[in-house]
Amino acid sequence: MIEKADDDGELVRRAKAGDFTAFEALVSKYERPIYSLARRIVGNAEDAEDVVQETFTSVVEHLAQFREEASFYTWLSRIASNNALKVLRKRRGLATVPFEEEEISNARGLPRPEFIAPWARDPLDAGKDPSIRSMVEKALGELDEKYRLAFVLRDIQGLSTVDAATTLGITEGNLKVRLLRARLQLRERLTRALGDEAARVAAPADHDETRIDDELR
C-alpha cells in the first residue's frame, strides 16, 4: 500500500531540476506498485514490463509538465493506466475504440449476494498469506475485463470516479455501475473462500429471485 504519497514534493522538485538520484528514489518507491497495476490490467509479465518501461520513460520526458495538482503517484498511475490500456486495445486491433462494449447505464441483472458470511480473518492479515494472495489475484484476473478495469483504477489505484471514467473513455454513470458489479462479484468469490462457514447467514427473503431488474438510480 502506498503511504505518504503526498510527501514526494521535494523529490519531484529535485528531479525536475535534473537530479537523477531524486528521480531514482521515485522509481524505487513506485516501480513495484506500477508493475502490479500493469500486471493486473494486461495480465502477463512481458507486457507489464513494457508498460513500466514506457511509463517511467515518459516521466523522464514529461516531468517538467507535471503541474503537481495531483500527487505524483496519481499522475504516474494515470500514465501507467493509459499505457496498459493501449496494450489491451492493440491486442484487440482497435486503436481508438473506447472500452464501451455496451451501454449499461442501469443496474439490470445486478447479481444478488448469495454466500453471506463474516470473514474469518482480517483482510490485511489474510493478504499476507501467499496462497490467499494468489487466489485473490486470480479472482480479479477472471473478472470480465470491463469490470476488472473499473475496479483496478478506482478501488485499487484510487483514481477519482472522473479520472477513472475519463481514462476508460466511459461515462461516470457507466463507471459506477461497472464498479458495483465488480465489487459484488469479487465479494462473492472472496467470501466463499474467506467467509466463516459456521457463521454463514441465509440471504434475506427478498433476495430469493436471482436478478434485480429495477433501474439504478
136 binds other proteins (CB under 8 A): yes
| Least Å from the CB of residue 74 to other proteins | 14
SS3 136: helix
Residues numbered 166 to 195 that lie near other proteins (CB under 8 A) are 176, 179-180, 183-184, 186-187, 190-191, 194-195
Binding flag, residue 216, other proteins (CB under 8 A): yes
Residue 155 sits in the site that holds other proteins (CB under 8 A):
yes
Report the C-alpha gap between 159 and 215 in whole angstroms.
26
Q: How far is the CB of 51 from other proteins (least distance, A)?
A: 11
Q: What is the spatial distance between Cα 87 and Cα 51, in angstroms, rounded to a whole number?
A: 8
All three cell numbers of 12: 519531484
Q: Is 140 in the site for other proteins (CB under 8 A)?
A: yes
Listed as own residue / partner, the contacts of 63-67 with beta carbons closer than 8 Å and 24 or more positions apart are 63/12, 63/15, 63/16, 63/23, 64/16, 66/12, 66/16
Least distance CB 82 / other proteins (angstroms): 19
- Which residue among 137, 142, 144, 172 contacts other proteins (CB under 8 A)? 137
Backbone phi, then psi, for 131, in 5-degree steps? -70, -35
Q: Using CB under 8 A, which of 25, 70, 88, 107 touches other proteins?
A: 107
